[in-house]
Structure 1
Amino acid sequence: MKLLTRSTLYFLVIMLPIFAIGAGYLFKKFDKEIRHETDEELVNDKIQWMRYLDTAKVDNAVLLLKTPEFSLTPTTAPVQKKPKLKGVRIFQEPENSYAPFRELSQVISFHGQNYLLVMRKSQIEKDDLLKNIIHVMLIAFAGLLFFAILFNFIISRNVWKPFHISLEKIRHLQLSKLDMPQFEQTNVHEFNQLNDALNNMSTRIAQDYTTMKELTEDAAHEMQTPLAIVQGKLELLLQDDTLSEEQLKAITQSSDELQRLSRLNHNLLLLAKIENQQFHFTERTDMAAVTEKYLQLFDELMAEKQLAVEQTIQPASWQLHPALADILVSNLLGNAIKYNTHGGSIRVSLTATTLMITNTSDHPEIPPAGRFQRFKKQEVSHGGASNGLGLAICKKITDSSSLNISYHYQSPFHTFTVTTNS
């Protein structure tokens, strides 16, 4: 969940109860004020009636008046000093329903006789007025809430704008180009602290990257020369007829290990270049041509192991550097030959979006934890131990080129599949 969305939700959680409490308080306040005004009207009407009755001439000894809004009935109850006020509901015949009234009742004395004076005022219009007021209040509260959320969103968006600018610069950071972004100062103290930390961090990262890149390239370059010299010396020794059979065997083993060391040095340098994103290519590579090329190059090796080859190659153009395409196909196809059984089979299938290479093998399934890790060695029946970098290089190529590589095993078939989204 985005920070702005979370802060808006927190705002709603806090403001909705406050608005609800405020609306309830105002409703009760309005209702109390309306009842108070009605009670004052009833008391005033009672005073007017009292004055009228005091001055009226009545022939009968007992007076009886009774209507829904006013009644004066004889009673034996004692005289009350103060009137009683309460809300009642009275049945209305025209509407066939009960309507709210405000009622005043008091026992008074008139011409020596006690009477119960009851006066009522209808609350229907005032209830309608109160409902209208509540509707207006709810609409006003809803409008206030909407504009409060809108303004909060706009203000928060503007306040967090420097953060999103810095985030975009980090997302587009490319170490290989050594184009380190500069994070400008803002008018927010916390963002200034963040940008200062990012500036310091990007500077240190650029320095460390440059140092590591130079060290890797220099080490790989400097190692090639002595390795080539030693390899040349060993080849000269192999041509010496005075050496015994055991000496020749030792020199041959040393030469093989030296060649393996040279390949290891080359592969480690290649891995470093891939990880450092030193292969930039904007055009597309013809994967069909690359696949057919390596099938022809490995034709003698496959014939030597008497491998049956089944190939289905369709036109395919991938967004992949040509050098990386060569390495990817040669490593996967080379592994399919190297770990295959004598007289086994290889199936190569290429479509517009998928490269699938399947080979038979006596080796068990590659464990998930070690399929694409470095230096996970497997013994090779005809050529000693591998350096364990082939699949790791393939994984780095696919990761850096927006490709996906997967492995499937169904005895005795091992299948590697590379897919592209473009």
Structure 2
Amino acid sequence: MKLFQLVMWRMSTILVVILTCWAVLFYLAIMEEVNDEVDDSLSDYAESLIIRSLSGEQMPDTSNGSNNQYFLYEVTPEYAASYPNISYRDEMVYITEKGETEPARILMTIFQKEDGGYMELVVYTPTIEKFDLQRAVLGWIVFLYVLLFLMILAVNAWVFHRNMRPLYTLLKWLEDYRLGTKEKPLDESLRIVEFRKLNEAANMFSERSEKLYEQQKLFIGNASHEMQTPLAICRNRLEMLMEDETLTEKQLSELMKTHRTLENLTRLNKSLLLLCKIENRQFTDVKSLCLNELLLQYLDDYKEVYAYRYVQVEVHVEECFRLEMSESLAIVLLTNLLKNAFVHVTEGGVIALSFTASSFRISNTGDASLDKNRIFERFYKEGKAEGSTGLGLALVDSICKAYHLTLSYTFEDGQHIFSIVS
């Protein structure tokens, strides 16, 4: 999840809770204010009626044209003692003036006359339709709620993007950064302290990485030169010794074994150096290549080897599988897959190569599945093949990762299948 999405999701959750609580409190406050106003009016009206009753004046009509109505009747002392002196409630009552039932606010109060008797006064007045009020308030609250919600989110999104712009610049710079290329350093004069320190740290990291990269390149170059030269000298001396006619058959056999060991060591050294160069992205001769055309150029070199084991080679080309990559690495990729297919193909079997616009697939007949969890590990050898360095498929895997290609292995219907998809 992106930072922007996380912030907006959390902000939305908080806003929903806050605005919902505010809407409930707002409605309760409105209803409380309405009831207070009505209750004050009823209290004043009830007070005037009680004064007139106690003073012996003539009481007004129960319906005086103002929709306010009252009932006054005598109650027992026990009844008076069991009820509060004054209470308010909402009820549906029949309004004589209108001839219909409407919601009303009712005041009930009990007072004592001079002769010690108790009177109960019930006063009610029509009030607002609270259901209608609820709908009206709810409609406006929802409108205001949605409007505020969208405006707050829009403002937060604008503020977030504006203030987080240096972070997006840093992320883009890190995505485009490649060792060995002179990237423009990040701006270290930002007003925001945290972003300024991030850019300073990224620039320092870049400088250290470039220095280490140059040192590593120098080491790899020196190691390649210094190790290959003595290995070549040792092989040449062994070959000269093997030409000595005075050697016994046993001595010649031992020398041949030593020569093979040196050759394996030479191949291993070259493969390890190549792996280091691939992982350090030291191959900059990138160009557009058609892999099927490149493969056909090298396939003839293997035909005699395949014919030795009666292996048939089938090539199916639908379209050109074109990639932007180093030609030397593309050759290593294809030749290692061809060698691997030859190693694991059955006697008199078939090796099939197929190309599409976005994939390359090589399959060969085999007896049993390889360990798909380990075949791309370095120095892992399936069946301990003699002369193998165990780095062929590891090289293929490293090249695919360097160029963001998807490499996979499956074993289906007696076929080892390696697929590369762009």
- TM (norm. structure 2) is 0.83
> Contact conserved, 1:64 with 1:74, CA < 8 A, in 2?
no
C-alpha displacement at 1:289, in angstroms?
2.0
Q: Structure 1 residues 419 and 140 mapped into 2: Cα distance closer, same or farther (>3 Å)? A: closer
Give the partner amino acid of 2:381.
K
The answer to whether 1:305 aligns with 2:295 is no
Partner residue in 1 for 2:22: 22
The answer to whether 1:45 aligns with 2:41 is no
The answer to whether 1:187 aligns with 2:213 is no
The answer to whether 1:401 aligns with 2:406 is no
1:350 pairs with 355, 361, 365, which one?
355
The answer to whether 1:322 aligns with 2:324 is no
> Contact conserved, 2:93 with 2:104, CA < 8 A, in 1?
no
Q: Structure 1 residues 242 and 286 mapped into 2: Cα distance closer, same or farther (>3 Å)? A: same
Partner residue in 2 for 1:90: 92
> Contact conserved, 1:88 with 1:100, CA < 8 A, in 2?
yes
Q: Secondary structure at the match of 1:368?
A: coil
Give the partner amino acid of 1:297.
D
C-alpha displacement at 1:117, in angstroms?
4.0
Distance across 2 between alignment mates of 1:75 and 1:390: 110
Partner residue in 2 for 1:416: 418
C-alpha displacement at 1:403, in angstroms?
2.0
Distance across 2 between alignment mates of 1:206 and 1:405: 30
Distance across 1 between alignment mates of 2:354 and 2:114: 115
C-alpha displacement at 1:48, in angstroms?
4.7
Distance across 1 between alignment mates of 2:211 and 2:297: 41
C-alpha displacement at 1:230, in angstroms?
2.3
1:392 pairs with 378, 391, 394, which one?
394
Partner residue in 2 for 1:373: 377
C-alpha displacement at 1:282, in angstroms?
5.3
C-alpha displacement at 1:76, in angstroms?
5.4
Q: Structure 1 residues 130 and 104 mapped into 2: Cα distance closer, same or farther (>3 Å)? A: farther
Distance across 1 between alignment mates of 2:344 and 2:134: 88
> Within 5 Å, which residues of 2 pair with 1:124-143?
124=128, 132=136, 135-143=139-147
Distance across 1 between alignment mates of 2:335 and 2:221: 24
Q: Secondary structure at the match of 2:339?
A: helix
The answer to whether 1:69 aligns with 2:42 is no
Number of residue-to-residue matches in the alignment: 412
> Contact conserved, 2:370 with 2:382, CA < 8 A, in 1?
no
Q: Secondary structure at the match of 2:180?
A: helix
Give the partner amino acid of 1:318.
R
Q: Secondary structure at the match of 2:91?
A: strand
Question: After superposition, what is the alpha-carbon deviation per residue over 1:113-155, rounded to whole angstroms, capped at 9, x for unaligned?
Answer: 9865433221126885676456545543443333223222222
Distance across 1 between alignment mates of 2:57 and 2:194: 88
> Contact conserved, 1:39 with 1:85, CA < 8 A, in 2?
no
Partner residue in 1 for 2:290: 286
Partner residue in 2 for 1:4: 4
C-alpha displacement at 1:156, in angstroms?
2.3
Question: After superposition, what is the alpha-carbon deviation per residue over 1:215-249, rounded to whole angstroms, capped at 9, x for unaligned?
Answer: 11210122222222222222222322232222222
Q: Secondary structure at the match of 2:70?
A: strand
1:211 pairs with 212, 215, 222, which one?
215
Distance across 2 between alignment mates of 1:405 and 1:358: 13
C-alpha displacement at 1:360, in angstroms?
3.1
- TM (norm. structure 1) is 0.83
Distance across 2 between alignment mates of 1:112 and 1:407: 105
Q: RMSD of aligned C-alpha atoms?
A: 3.5
Distance across 1 between alignment mates of 2:134 and 2:413: 82
Percentage of matched positions with identical amino acids: 27
1:225 pairs with 225, 229, 254, which one?
229
Q: Structure 1 residues 309 and 134 mapped into 2: Cα distance closer, same or farther (>3 Å)? A: closer
Consecutive unaligned residues of structure 2, counting only runs of 5 or more, are: none
